[in-house]
Amino acid sequence: MIWFKDYTLDDIKALITHPNITQILDIDFIERGDDLIRARMPVNQNAHQIHGILHGGVTCVLAESAGSFASLMCIDLDQKYVVGSQICVNHLRPVRDGHIIATAKAVHIGRTKHVWDIPVHADNGKLIAKCELTCAVTDKT
């Protein structure tokens, strides 16, 4: 297991302490495995761009949320915090409705940097985006 402690899904949801974009987009953390975290979100009008399909930026928000929360779970939150420092996303196919699911798995867990591979799939199982997120790990001061 790569996590700092044995987080439950309720523990992960409790890390959201004030209104933010995960709540606006209705992002829900649905699975925590030994080496992955999975987040799901609806594709609806709030997530569409002008052509009625999923906005690429919203896909990035889901991927960064999954990876950032995964990074949080790898550190001592009393001593450190993490922030996304780079995200790279290849958008592969459009989605109009249903849900999308991001699965964050570690590529590298270092002292000052975490890198996550985050494929995003539609309800039908098709890959809609391939993402990589780098998070910077910083001391609390």
- 64 belongs to the catalytic site: yes
- What's phi and psi for 24, nearest 5 deg? -60, -40
- How many whole angstroms separate alpha carbon 96 and alpha carbon 131? 19
Question: How would you classify residue 76: left for phi > 0, otherwise alpha for psi between -120 and 50, otherwise beta?
Answer: beta
Out of 40, 63, 64, 74, the active site residue is 64
What ranges in 1-141 are assigned the alpha helix state H?
9-14, 21-24, 56-72
Look-up of token digits 């930026």: 57
> Which positions are annotated as active-site residues?
64
